[in-house]
């Protein structure tokens, strides 16, 4: 039997935003804990993503005074939505209700994730890079023995709590015998970086551009401006449709680039094309209650099914898990702390996720997309609500459903008249 290399109170697999923020949270809430954070990659590492972070990530960073990692980043001021027949609408990001800042940044993940990981390193977390998670086993004392490997060797670590933050293809989740999301509840998306010397000039300001149901039917494409002339572009579709229509992800990206060029946007030096899965929160795994193993982030299918945003939910899950368990490490009540975390996360986001899943269904119809954009271009409340679904924790109440249905049904001119008066 191989020796245990290290013993931890909390061992986190995966040092993306979810894993790093969980590690930071445990050390801030309970500095005496021995926290390990292990990733198969050597940082800084790239991750396929739109790179957009909004009010949620800012408030998660502010919780432990870490927002300084966003200093000097340019702010995005608006969103621009396009639908079929070139119907478009540009809108300022409204004051969100649940957060202090209504700000969006676009920061390449190779930088953002490294900055968050550095915060963990500076919080006295034991970070190990370049080790691949292999498997885990519970011993007689309910400790978890975890096996990792690199090219040459295998390592065993023991921990009281194991956290799977190892992303959309989580091996920790697989070992818990929890199935991956079905094709209906996940999307495939491709990201590329390009240089665009005139993007901001064309749109008159730093705007997040979404194009719904155009380059990909039932999917959406994006162009998000980062520092200088750097533009993050990409396109995603639900996997069920991707397979049914035998789509080619690279071809979808080419079509979107043609669309951008037809709007006058110069696209140069297309590079770093990378596709990946997005497991939507419309189908979340249920954990085995007896084991001291928890999942956060993409490993636990936390991505907003409407926007594809996942960084905020993963970071918030890391904090909520730490909040509910940091004082129970080593006690028999640890698994009930994990259940409390699950309940708190679901209670906070269930209605929001459900509303976003419904919005996704509506936006899969080109007719409904056109109608929504027409309604939104005549009615500030509707566009504000759509933007809050994208950037805050908004959800549909019964009154909201009635209001939106009514606005969808009445003629656009009458709606414009009513809104003006």
Residues 6+ apart with CB under 8 A from 143: 158, 159, 160
Q: By three-state DSSP, how is residue 303 classified?
A: strand
Minimal CA–CA distance to 289: which of 221, 343, 246?
A: 343
Which of residues 4, 29, 30, 41 is near ligand FAD by CB under 6 A? 41
Minimum distance from residue 198 beta carbon to ligand FAD (Å): 22
Minimal CA–CA distance to 370: which of 135, 83, 112, 45?
A: 83
- What is the chain's alpha carbon radius of gyration, rounded to the nearest angstrom? 22
What is the arrangement of strands in the sheet containing 78-82, beginning at the earlier edge strand?
88-92, 78-82, 207-212, 220-225, 230-238, 186-195, 268-279
> Which span (265-273, 301-309, 338-346, 391-399) binds ligand FAD, by CB under 6 A?
301-309
* Complex with ligand FAD: residue 51 or 211, whichever CB lies closer: 51
Interface characters, 237-276, with ligand FAD (x: CB under 6 A): ---------------------------------------x
Minimal CA–CA distance to 11: which of 206, 183, 203, 160?
A: 160
Residues 6+ apart with CB under 8 A from 392: 55, 56, 96, 97, 98, 99
Size of the site for ligand FAD (CB under 6 A): 39
* Complex with ligand FAD: residue 41 or 200, whichever CB lies closer: 41
Q: By three-state DSSP, how is residue 30 classified?
A: coil
Tell me: does residue 363 bind ligand FAD (CB under 6 A). Answer: no
Sign for the CA dihedral angle at 78, 231, 314, 175 comes to positive
Which of residues 40, 173, 284, 360 is near ligand FAD by CB under 6 A? 40
Ranges within 77-96 binding ligand FAD (CB under 6 A)? none
Ranges within 8-27 binding ligand FAD (CB under 6 A)? 13-19
> Which span (51-59, 80-88, 211-219, 408-416) binds ligand FAD, by CB under 6 A?
51-59
* Complex with ligand FAD: residue 50 or 285, whichever CB lies closer: 50
CA 14 to chain centre: 15
* Complex with ligand FAD: residue 298 or 384, whichever CB lies closer: 298
Which of residues 10, 11, 33, 49 is near ligand FAD by CB under 6 A? 49
Ranges within 128-187 binding ligand FAD (CB under 6 A)? 132-133, 165-167, 171
Sign for the CA dihedral angle at 148, 18, 124, 158 comes to negative
Which phi and psi (to 5°) does residue 19 adopt?
-65, -45
Residue nearest to ligand FAD (CB): 310
Which of residues 225, 234, 238, 337 is near ligand FAD by CB under 6 A? 234
Minimum distance from residue 66 beta carbon to ligand FAD (Å): 16
Which 8-state DSSP code applies to residue 169? T
Binding site for ligand FAD (CB under 6 A): 13-19, 38-41, 47-53, 132-133, 165-167, 171, 189, 191, 234, 276, 278, 297-299, 303, 308-312, 314
């Amino acid at each position: 039997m191989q020796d245990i290399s290290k013993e931890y109170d909390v061992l986190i697999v995966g040092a993306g935003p979810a894993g790093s923020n969980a590690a930071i949270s445990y050390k801030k809430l309970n500095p005496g804990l021995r926290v390990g954070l292990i990733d198969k990659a050597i940082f800084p590492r790239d991750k396929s993503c739109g790179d957009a972070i909004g009010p949620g990530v800012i408030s998660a960073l502010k919780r432990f005074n870490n927002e300084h990692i966003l200093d000097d980043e340019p702010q995005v001021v608006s969103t621009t939505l396009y639908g079929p027949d070139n119907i478009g609408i540009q809108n300022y990001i409204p004051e969100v209700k649940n957060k202090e800042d209504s700000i969006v940044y676009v920061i390449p993940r190779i930088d953002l994730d490294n900055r968050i990981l550095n915060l963990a390193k500076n919080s006295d977390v034991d970070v190990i890079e370049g080790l691949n998670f292999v498997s885990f086993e519970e011993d007689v004392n309910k400790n978890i023995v975890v096996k990792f490997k690199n090219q040459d060797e295998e390592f065993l670590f023991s921990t009281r709590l194991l956290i799977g933050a190892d992303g959309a293809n989580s091996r920790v989740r697989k070992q818990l015998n929890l199935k991956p999301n079905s094709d209906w509840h996940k999307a495939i998306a491709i990201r590329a970086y390009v240089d665009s010397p005139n993007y901001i000039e064309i749109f008159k300001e730093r705007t997040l551009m979404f194009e719904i149901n155009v380059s990909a039917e039932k999917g959406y494409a994006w162009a998000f401006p980062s520092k200088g002339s750097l533009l993050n572009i990409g396109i995603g579709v639900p996997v069920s449709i991707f397979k049914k229509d035998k789509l080619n992800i690279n071809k979808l990206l080419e079509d979107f680039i043609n669309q951008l060029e037809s709007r006058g946007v110069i696209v140069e030096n297309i590079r770093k094309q990378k596709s990946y899965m997005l497991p939507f929160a419309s189908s979340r795994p249920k954990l085995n209650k007896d084991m001291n193993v928890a999942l956060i982030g993409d490993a636990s299918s936390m991505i907003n099914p409407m926007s594809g945003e996942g960084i905020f939910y993963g970071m918030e899950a890391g904090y909520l898990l730490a909040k509910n368990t940091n004082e129970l490490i080593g006690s028999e009540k640890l698994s009930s702390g994990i259940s409390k975390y699950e309940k708190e996360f679901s209670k906070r986001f269930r209605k929001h996720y459900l509303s976003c899943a419904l919005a996704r269904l509506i936006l899969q119809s080109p007719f409904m997309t056109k109608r929504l954009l027409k309604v939104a271009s005549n009615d500030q409340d509707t566009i504000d609500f759509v933007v809050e679904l994208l950037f805050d924790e908004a959800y549909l109440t019964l009154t909201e459903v009635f209001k939106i249905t009514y606005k969808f049904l009445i003629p656009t001119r009458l709606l414009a008249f009513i809104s003006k008066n």
